[in-house]
Amino acid sequence: MPRSLRARLLIGAGLWLAVAMAGSWLALTALFRDHLQQQVEATLATHLDQLLANLDFPADGPPTVRPLSDPRFAKPFSGLYWQIDRPDEPLRSRSLWDVALPLPQDHPGSGELHRHEILGPRDRPLLVVERIVQPPSGDPLRVAVAADRAELDRPAEQFGHALAASLAMVAAGILAAALAQVTLGLRPLGRLGAALARMRRGAAQRIEGTWPTEVQPLVGDFNAVLDHDAAVVARARTQAGNLAHALKTPLSVLRNRMQAADPALRSAVLEDIETMRRHVDHHLARARAAARTVGGSRTPVRARLSSLARVATLAHPDRAVSVTVQADDALLAPVEVQDFDEIAGNLLDNAVKWAGGAIRAAAESRDGGFVLTIEDDGPGLPVAARDRVFARGERLDEQTPGSGLGLAIVRDVVELYGGGVALDAGALGGLRVTVRLPDAA
């Protein structure tokens, strides 16, 4: 069974039509054949009456028959015959030539009209109408008129062919109407799919519009699920923020108190506090990112990159760097604003720390996805160390400020959207970070 609803409905309609048309053909051809046979038998009965009317009984000789009006009775093997059985020698139409009709050995009552099917000249099937008549004197006579069944079968076959062609055209018309009906009936499902695609692209947050009665409950239930998910996301964001405050504040207080402690103990405890803070930052960032990936959204790239570049340079006033942004004004990233800021902000912050003086941030749509590239003219990164920088808290230069979480958070957020992060040598001479995200559409 095909998975397509359209195919299932059309196959069902086709099977029903095939059965209905075959049954109609059988019934109509049978009715036509019965009607035609009644007509042929009625014609034979008329010929029989004419034969009896043309039958003479001379007083001094055997019965004689005056010629009948239908010329086929005089043409040999024409398919129309008459025969009169009598005790001595039967009388036959010229069309029988020297052949006698093998009438069945029954005993019909006098005057009753009987019908038979027999084999006649040249083994052709015949329809026979006969009657027993009593002459003025002598023995009863058996009078029969026969016609070739081709008179019945040929028109019935022609009618069957014409009826089959007509029913085929009717079936084709009904199937075309069924196709149109199925297409129109399933159109709301196509609209529903388009509405879901718009949601994935971030062009809509709910399924809107007027829907058929049968589809409206599904739309309502789906919107209710979306509302529930939005509430879950909001609660997750709130809980992530609350957790950040709940953990960071005690850690800050503990760090401040340890400043007056014994130097040896203070160094060890402060190191543990810093490790805890890095883990808290990392997992909170990942939790917030995971919560925000529910539902599709779009972020204007050029405006956000320009804003993030200004923030990154202001955060490091001791670094004299220039950030060049290359992106179309209409370009949109398939992520939420907060996640884009998390990705691009960390990468720009890292580039400002290491750049010699120039940074380039470029974004474009490529191969059905979104590509963000940030490179600098700094010292770069050895190939052997490129995998290490994604480890949580890994810092290749302890003299450079930071928590060592930037690239790890970037990778985690990007992977939540089904993308990837790659490191290589850039055209400016330093490190180039390339982020690829699939288009949500």
| Structure token pair of residue 128 | 């026979």
Token code pair at residue 412: 């985690």
Alpha-carbon dihedral angle through residues 264, 268, 271, 275, given to the nearest 10 degrees: -170
DSSP code of residue 356: S
Assign 12 to helix, strand or coil. helix
Q: How many CB atoms lie within 10 A of CB 172?
A: 11
- Identify the residue with better confidence: 231 or 111: 231
C-alpha angle with apex 400: 399 to 401, nearest 5 degrees? 110
Q: Which pLDDT tens digit goes with each residue over 82-92? A: 998 887 788 88
pLDDT given for residue 405 in this prediction? 53
What does the alpha-carbon distance between residue 74 and residue 84 come to, in Å, rounded to a whole number? 15
Positive or negative torsion for Cα 226, 231, 233, 234: positive
Q: Tell me how far apart the alpha carbons of residues 4 and 45 are, in angstroms, rounded to a whole number.
A: 61
Identity of residue 228: H
Three-state DSSP at 65 gives strand
* pLDDT tens-place string over residues 214-249: 888 888 888 888 888 777 777 776 776 677 666 666
With a cut of 90, say whether residue 393 has pLDDT above it: no
Residues 417, 414: Cα–Cα separation, whole Å: 5
Which residues does 85 contact at the CB level (< 8 Å), separation at least 6?
103, 141, 142, 143, 144
Q: Are strands 141-148 and 125-133 parallel, antiparallel or unpaired?
A: antiparallel
Pairing assessment for the beta strands 322-326 and 358-366 based on DSSP bridges:
parallel
Average pLDDT rounded to a whole number, residues 126-135? 88
Q: Do 172 and 166 contact (CB within 8 A), yes or no? A: no
pTM of the model: 0.53
Give the tens place of pLDDT for each residue, 39-63. 988 898 899 989 888 888 877 777 8
